């Protein structure tokens, strides 16, 4: 196969099917969520013939009800473009990623009452899946791709395999383990949650139906899982590096996606260092008033000694 690719570079007129190129790509990369569907649709097509029209058709087949630009880009364009550039290098077709795919959208998470109302209405497998995502903040594909052999109840560990940030073993929360053990026949399933990594759409569809039957608003797995977990940790004051490591992310990913929350850390540092300067400047002198702002209790006025300040040169005093 390697000789074939070398020959391809020497002879640009010789084409290679997407299926063979995709096979080489998967050898060194994590299997995409829709790998089987992508290979089935594009397998016999020559890599040089892949164009935007083909991807539009595949997009409609994968998401008949539509999907966000970020989802389409991550699960469709990224693996296909990487495959084409791997075998064709600079000769790879120029494809247009979905407009707005890199736009950072507001992070929306369900209220805690949503979980309280929903969990009793789910079947044991759905219940374990929802709480496993919410408590550990993992990706949907990572969880659906787990096999029974990946779950060690005694050690309370779930092997996630080769993730984007390396091989990881997830230390499960003690209260999640009983939920996993309550799934009927989980040991004899081909996949731990009954659906494999390429069944995300069907699993999500069944879960959405259960949520709507419960009379609740639908939040996708990324919202009730990853977003919820990251948001709660950042609100508790954990550092960006700590949150990134816990969720298999890089600090840059956390800052870019959850920047409105990570600013609390830098704001606290800014106020602390600025407060030290104020303490040094406003010591001694006449009695005055100053406003102290407590992050929990709000502003508070205290009496303190302030130096007698006179206007500096250029100041204008109004009567």
Q: Is residue 208 part of a domain?
A: yes
What is the pLDDT, as a whole number, of residue 317? Answer: 43
Q: Both 237 and 289 in a single domain?
A: no
Q: Both 140 and 69 in a single domain?
A: no
Q: Give the model confidence (pLDDT) of 92-133 as tens digits.
A: 888 888 887 666 567 788 999 999 999 999 999 999 999 999
What is the pLDDT, as a whole number, of residue 259? Answer: 74
Q: Both 238 and 145 in a single domain?
A: yes
Q: Is residue 269 part of a domain?
A: no
Mean pLDDT is lowest, of 93-97, 155-159, 248-252, 298-302, for 298-302
Q: What is the CATH number of the domain that holds 158?
A: 1.10.443.10
Q: Give the model confidence (pLDDT) of 283-300 as tens digits.
A: 644 444 444 445 455 545
Structure-token match 């560990």, residue found: 157
Q: Which residue has the higher pLDDT, 144 or 296?
A: 144
Please report how many Cα atoms fall inside a 13 Å half-sphere around the Cα of residue 197, on the Cβ side.
17
CB distance 36 to 43 below 8 Å: no
Q: Give the model confidence (pLDDT) of 193-235 as tens digits.
A: 988 877 767 888 899 999 999 999 999 888 999 999 998 888 8
Q: Both 45 and 161 in a single domain?
A: no
Q: Both 163 and 229 in a single domain?
A: yes
Q: Both 127 and 245 in a single domain?
A: yes
- Residue 148's domain spans which residues? 112-261
Q: Is residue 7 part of a domain?
A: yes
Q: Which residue has the higher pLDDT, 277 or 254?
A: 254
Mean pLDDT is lowest, of 109-123, 141-155, 168-182, 305-319, for 305-319
Q: Both 237 and 287 in a single domain?
A: no
Q: Both 57 and 162 in a single domain?
A: no
Q: Is residue 98 part of a domain?
A: no
Structure-token match 């789910």, residue found: 122
Tally of domains in the chain: 3
Mean pLDDT of 235-245: 86
- Helix 200-213 / helix 124-136 crossing angle, nearest 10 deg: 100
Mark which of 26, 58, 91 sits at the end of a domain.
91
Of 96-105, 137-146, 298-307, which has the strongest mean pLDDT?
137-146
Q: Is residue 202 part of a domain?
A: yes
How many Cβ atoms sit within 10 Å of the Cβ of residue 11?
A: 9
Mean pLDDT of 52-71: 87
**Distance between CA atoms of residues 130 and 114, nearest Å:** 12
At residue 302, does pLDDT exceed 70? no
Q: Both 197 and 125 in a single domain?
A: yes
Mean pLDDT for the chain? 80
Q: Both 288 and 203 in a single domain?
A: no
Instruction: Report the DSSP pairing between strands 286-294 and 298-306.
Output: antiparallel
Longest dimension (CA), the chain: 88
Q: Is residue 235 part of a domain?
A: yes
Q: Is residue 147 part of a domain?
A: yes
Q: Both 120 and 252 in a single domain?
A: yes
What is the pLDDT, as a whole number, of residue 222? Answer: 86
pTM metric for this prediction: 0.60
> Encoding tokens for residue 68?
């966000």
Q: Both 131 and 172 in a single domain?
A: yes
> Encoding tokens for residue 103?
């736009």
8-state DSSP, 312: P
What is the pLDDT, as a whole number, of residue 212? Answer: 93
What is the pLDDT, as a whole number, of residue 7? Answer: 58
Structure-token match 């369900």, residue found: 110
What is the pLDDT, as a whole number, of residue 305? Answer: 46
Mark which of 40, 57, 91 sits at the end of a domain.
91
Q: Is residue 245 part of a domain?
A: yes
What is the pLDDT, as a whole number, of residue 304? Answer: 46
């Amino acid at each position: 196969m390697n000789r074939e690719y070398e020959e391809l570079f020497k002879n640009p007129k010789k084409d290679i099917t997407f299926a063979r190129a995709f096979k080489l790509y998967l050898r060194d990369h994590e299997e995409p969520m829709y790998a089987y569907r992508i290979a089935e649709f594009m397998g016999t097509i020559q890599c040089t013939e892949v164009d935007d029209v083909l991807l539009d058709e595949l997009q409609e087949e994968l998401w008949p009800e539509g999907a966000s630009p970020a989802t389409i880009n991550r699960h469709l364009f990224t693996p296909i473009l990487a495959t084409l550039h791997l075998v064709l290098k600079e000769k790879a077709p120029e494809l247009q990623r979905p407009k707005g795919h890199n736009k950072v959208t507001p992070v929306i998470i369900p209220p805690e009452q949503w979980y309280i109302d929903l969990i009793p209405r789910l079947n044991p497998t759905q219940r374990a899946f929802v709480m496993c995502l919410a408590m550990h903040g993992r990706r949907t594909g990572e969880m659906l791709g787990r096999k029974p052999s990946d779950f060690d109840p005694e050690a309370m560990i779930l092997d996630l395999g080769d993730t984007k940030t390396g091989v990881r073993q997830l230390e499960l929360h003690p209260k999640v383990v009983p939920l996993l053990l309550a799934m009927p026949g989980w040991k004899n399933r081909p996949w731990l949650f009954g659906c494999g990594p390429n069944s995300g759409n069907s699993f999500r569809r069944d879960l959405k139906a259960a949520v709507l039957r419960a009379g609740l608003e639908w939040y996708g797995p990324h919202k009730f899982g990853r977003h919820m977990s990251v948001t709660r940790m950042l609100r508790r004051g954990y550092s960006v590096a700590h949150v990134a490591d816990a969720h298999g992310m890089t600090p840059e990913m956390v800052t870019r996606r959850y920047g409105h929350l990570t600013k609390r850390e830098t704001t606290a540092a800014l106020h602390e260092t600025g407060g030290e300067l104020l303490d040094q400047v406003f010591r001694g002198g006449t009695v005055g008033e100053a406003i102290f702002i407590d992050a929990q209790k709000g502003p508070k006025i205290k009496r303190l000694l302030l130096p007698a300040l006179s206007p500096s040169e250029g100041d204008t005093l109004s009567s």
